[in-house]
Amino acid sequence: MIRNVLSIAGSDPSGGAGIQADLKAFSARGVYGMAALTALTAQNTQGVSGVHPVPPHFVADQINAIFADVRVDAVKIGMIANAAIATAVADILARHRDVPVVLDPVMIAKGGAALLTADAVDVLTTRLLPLATVITPNLPEAAALLHDVEAKSREDMARQALALAALGPSAVLVKGGHLEGDESPDVLASGDHVTWFEAERLPTKNTHGTGCTLSSAIAAEIAKGLSLPEAVAVGKAYLAAAVAAAGQLSVGSGHGPVQHFHALWPNRQGAEK
């Protein structure tokens, strides 16, 4: 059976992040992707120049329409924009507690633009975190959620992951892509236990949408029946390969997107040689 996964997130017209990245990752991982839009953005590989939130009642209408008709095997939440949208999403998902939820707390764009209002952080923390099977913050997001300084070491990462787990989600994956050094480790905390996932840092600026892609891949693998640690391992390996193959693409002049379909599309340059 092909599994169905719903993304609740914002749109990226350049195709590298947001709903567009989620749907690409879902397809690449072999699940059927659906999307409820929370916001339209004006952005490209160089940054975000505008955000237009969808009215909260219409966000709710989109999600309710899916649940009324389609079996939903997992939900991925990305950009929720403001407190009213966060509340609307939480109200609906509280009625579907049997569906796994992967929450990527999208707060700041790669170029520095704020993608979540300050009042929405409180709603996200109090209403959405307790509904999540796993949350996937990067280091700045983990620090913001905890009102703490950004982690500078593995010890800091583990401490913050455990602190976030105490706020209610079943598990927390803190991503170490912002750490300095040659490694890019992630740490998964559940209860008082932590598990590390290792990877080498890849020398590329084409990392637009990495957080969206990883959380979507994890949601896809959970929907397919993998345990959370297995889903994280598969998702991280998929993302690493997508980043490594990003040079196959020629999209924009800033932070380019990853190559979601690295395993499905031939390397045209290689084929021509």
Which one is catalytic: 76, 110, 175, 224? 175
**How wide is the angle at C-alpha 155 spanned by C-alphas 152 and 156, nearest 5°?**
45
Locus of tokens 């045209």: 268
Out of 210, 213, 235, 256, which one is annotated catalytic? 210
Residues facing 187 on adjacent strands: 174, 196
Q: Is 211 a catalytic residue?
A: yes
Q: Is 252 a catalytic residue?
A: no
Collect all residues with Cβ–Cβ distance below 8 Å to 222 and sequence separation of at least 6. 74, 100, 102, 133, 228, 231
Verify whether residue 210 is a known catalytic residue: yes
Other CB atoms closer than 10 Å to residue 170's CB: what's the count? 17
- What is the DSSP secondary-structure string of 21-89? HHHHHHHHTT-EEEEEEEEEEEEETTEEEEEEEPPHHHHHHHHHHHHHHS---EEEE---BSHHHHHHH
Q: Which residue in 125, 136, 207, 213 is the catalytic one?
A: 207
Options 15, 209, 235, 256, the catalytic residue: 209
> Active-site residue among 38, 87, 110, 212?
212
CA–CA distance from 108 to each of 87, 141, 200, 263 (Å)?
20, 8, 24, 30
Of the candidates 15, 211, 235, 256, the residue annotated as catalytic is 211
What are the beta bridge partners of residue 108?
114
Active site residue 212: yes
Q: Just list the catalytic residues.
A: 175, 207, 209-212
